[in-house]
């Protein structure tokens, strides 16, 4: 489960632009923009693209959190 806000925050903590994320995920930049515009809502459309974005960010060191119904992100501990 991911939200648009989580994607935006994840990009910010690793210093990645929307274009860089799109390239690494193998999707169009407009898809990233659309996902982030969902804000606090859960992303539900195009699960394959959501997974591609999630994987790209996780490879960059992001951990996605969802505790007590509160979404979040953090850098993976080394």
Query: Residue 49 has what DSSP assignment?
Result: H
Tokens of 44: 């539900």
The answer to whether 11 and 47 are in contact (CB under 8 A) is no
Q: Give the DSSP H/E element, type plus range, for residue 20.
A: helix 18-25
Q: Give pLDDT tens digits for 34-45.
A: 999 999 999 999
User: Residues 13-22: what's their mean pLDDT?
Assistant: 97
The domain tally of the chain equals 1
CATH number of the domain encompassing residue 29: 1.10.260.40
In angstroms, the CA 2 to CA 65 distance is 9
pTM of the predicted model over 0.85: yes
**Residue span of the structural domain in which 10 resides:** 4-75
User: Residues 6-29: what's their mean pLDDT?
Assistant: 97
Residue 67: predicted pLDDT: 87
């Amino acid at each position: 489960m991911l939200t648009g806000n989580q994607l935006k925050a994840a990009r910010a903590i690793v210093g990645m632009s929307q274009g860089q994320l799109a390239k690494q995920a193998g999707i169009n930049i407009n898809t990233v923009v659309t996902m982030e515009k969902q804000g606090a809502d859960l992303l539900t459309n195009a699960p394959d693209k959501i997974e591609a974005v999630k994987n790209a960010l996780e490879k960059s060191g992001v951990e996605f959190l969802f505790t007590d119904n509160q979404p979040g992100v953090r850098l993976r501990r080394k």
